[in-house]
C-alpha cells in the first residue's frame, strides 16, 4: 500500500509500470486492469524488490505465493492510481523530478555523478530512475488530492489519544485538585436542574474571564467543607473521589480547569493544581507529533478505502 512519504524516502528499487495491450512482450500476462495489462515479468521484478527489502531489514524472505500476491496487488493499485491521475489531469513536471533526484542524492551524501553510479551498481539507469520517480510523484499528488480532504485530525482528537495513553501511568500517582460544587437536590425538577447548570456555567465563564478559581470557590461553592479553602481537596490518589471526577483529574494538566461536570451531587468545576511527576511529557510538548502520527494513520486507512472504491469501479482480471 502506498503511503504519502517525503520524497527523500522514495525507494530507488522500483519496478517498471504496467504497459498497454498494444505493446505486449511475450512473457505472459499476470492481470488486466481496464485496457492496461500487468506482465509476469513486472510481477517478478516487484517480488525481487520485496525480497530485497525483507532481507535488508534482517527478516526472512517472504514465501513465493505471499510475495507474488503482494507484488501483484501493488502493481494493480499503481495502475488504478495512474488511471485516476489521467482523469484528474494531474501532471508531474521535469523540474519536480529533477528536484526529487537532487534531494535523494543529497540525503545520501552524494553528488549526481556518485548517485548515478550507485544506481548503475544496482542495475538501474538514471533514465529509468527518472521514470520511476515521476510515477511515484504522480501517485503522491493523486493520493493527496483524493484522500487528504477526508482526513482531519484536530487537537481534540489528539488530546483524546494522549489521555488514553497516559491515563494508566497516572493512576498510581498522587495529585492535588480542587472543585466548585453547584449542588443539585435529589428531587430537583428538570427545570431546576437546567437553572443550576446555567449557574455552574456562569461560574466557569467568570473564571475564564480572569476571576481566580479559589475566590469563586469561596464565594459560590456549595461544598461547605472545601469552599473555605478555595475548593481544594488536598492530596489525593486516583480512586479517592467519585469515579466521574477521578477520570477528569486523570486527563488534566496542572493548572487546567474544566466543567461543569455532572455527578449525583450536582455540577462541578474542577481544577488540577499539581500531580506527581511520573515522567509523562505534557500534552503541549507532544501535541504536534501525535497529530502527525494520527494523520498518517488515518491517511493510510483512507487510502485503503479509496483504492477499494477504485477497484469496485474498474475491470480487473487476475490471471495468476
Q: What does residue 177 show for φ and ψ, rounded to 5 degrees?
A: -130, 170
| pLDDT, averaged across the chain | 86
Contact of 61 with 49, CB cutoff 8 Å: no
Q: Are strands 175-183 and 257-263 parallel, antiparallel or unpaired?
A: unpaired
Q: Given this model, what pLDDT does residue 195 score?
A: 95
Q: Given this model, what pLDDT does residue 205 score?
A: 96
Give the residue numbers spanning the domain of 57. 7-153+289-318
Which is higher by pLDDT, 315 or 279? 315
Quick check: 17 pLDDT over 80?
no
Give the mean pLDDT of 149-175: 88
Counting other chains too, the contacts that 65-69 makes at CB distance below 8 Å and 24 or more residues apart are: 68/43, 68/320
In tens, the pLDDT along 186-241 reads: 899 999 999 999 999 999 999 999 999 999 999 999 999 999 999 999 999 988 88
Q: What is the pTM of this model?
A: 0.59
Q: Given this model, what pLDDT does residue 32 score?
A: 94
Domain count, the chain: 2
Q: List the grid coordinates of 308.
A: 477499494
Quick check: 1 pLDDT over 60?
no
Answer yes or no: is 166 within a domain. no
Quick check: 105 pLDDT over 70?
yes
Answer yes or no: is 1 within a domain. no
CATH number of the domain enclosing 87: 1.10.4030.10
The answer on 252 and 189 residing in a single domain is: yes
The answer on 314 and 195 residing in a single domain is: no
Quick check: 285 pLDDT over 50?
yes
Answer yes or no: is 266 within a domain. yes
Q: Given this model, what pLDDT does residue 3 score?
A: 40
Residue the block writes with cell 493523486: 142
Separation between Cα atoms, residue 223 and residue 178, nearest integer Å: 11
The answer on 143 and 66 residing in a single domain is: yes
Quick check: 20 pLDDT over 50?
no
User: Would you tell me how many other CB atoms lie within 10 Å of the CB of residue 292?
Assistant: 12
Answer yes or no: is 48 within a domain. yes
CA torsion through residues 252, 257, 261, 263, sign? positive
Q: Strand order in 36-39's β-sheet? A: 19-20, 36-39, 29-33, 316-318
The answer on 115 and 180 residing in a single domain is: no
Quick check: 268 pLDDT over 90?
yes
The answer on 105 and 130 residing in a single domain is: yes
In tens, the pLDDT along 110-159 reads: 988 888 888 888 777 888 888 889 888 988 889 888 888 888 899 999 98
Q: Given this model, what pLDDT does residue 43 score?
A: 92
Amino acid at each position: 500500500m502506498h503511503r504519502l512519504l517525503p520524497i527523500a524516502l522514495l525507494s530507488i528499487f522500483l519496478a517498471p509500470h504496467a504497459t498497454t495491450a498494444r505493446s505486449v512482450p511475450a512473457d505472459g500476462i499476470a492481470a488486466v486492469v481496464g485496457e492496461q495489462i500487468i506482465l509476469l515479468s513486472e510481477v517478478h521484478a516487484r517480488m525481487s524488490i520485496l525480497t530485497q527489502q525483507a532481507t535488508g531489514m534482517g527478516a526472512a524472505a517472504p514465501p513465493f505465493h505471499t510475495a507474488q500476491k503482494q507484488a501483484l496487488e501493488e502493481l494493480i493499485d499503481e495502475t488504478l492510481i495512474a488511471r485516476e491521475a489521467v482523469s484528474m489531469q494531474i501532471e508531474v513536471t521535469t523540474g519536480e523530478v529533477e528536484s526529487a533526484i537532487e534531494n535523494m542524492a543529497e540525503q545520501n551524501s552524494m553528488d549526481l555523478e556518485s548517485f548515478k553510479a550507485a544506481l548503475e551498481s544496482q542495475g538501474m539507469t538514471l533514465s529509468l530512475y527518472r521514470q520511476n520517480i515521476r510515477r511515484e510523484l504522480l501517485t503522491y499528488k493523486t493520493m493527496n488530492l483524493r484522500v487528504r480532504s477526508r482526513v482531519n485530525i484536530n487537537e481534540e482528537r489528539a488530546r483524546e489519544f494522549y489521555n488514553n495513553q497516559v491515563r494508566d501511568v497516572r493512576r498510581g500517582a498522587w495529585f492535588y485538585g480542587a472543585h466548585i460544587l453547584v449542588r443539585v437536590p435529589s428531587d430537583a425538577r428538570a427545570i431546576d436542574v437546567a437553572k443550576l447548570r446555567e449557574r455552574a456555567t456562569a461560574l466557569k465563564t467568570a473564571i475564564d474571564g480572569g476571576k481566580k478559581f479559589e475566590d469563586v470557590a469561596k464565594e459560590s461553592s456549595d461544598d461547605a467543607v472545601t469552599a473555605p479553602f478555595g475548593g481544594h481537596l488536598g492530596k489525593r490518589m486516583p480512586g479517592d473521589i467519585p469515579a466521574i471526577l477521578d477520570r477528569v483529574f486523570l486527563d488534566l494538566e496542572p493548572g487546567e480547569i474544566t466543567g461543569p461536570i455532572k455527578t449525583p451531587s450536582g455540577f462541578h468545576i474542577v481544577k488540577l493544581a499539581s500531580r506527581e511527576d511520573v515522567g509523562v511529557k505534557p500534552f503541549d510538548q507532544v501535541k504536534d507529533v501525535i497529530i502527525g502520527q494520527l494523520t498518517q494513520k488515518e491517511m493510510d486507512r483512507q487510502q485503503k478505502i479509496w483504492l477499494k472504491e477504485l477497484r469496485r469501479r474498474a475491470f480487473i482480471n487476475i490471471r495468476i
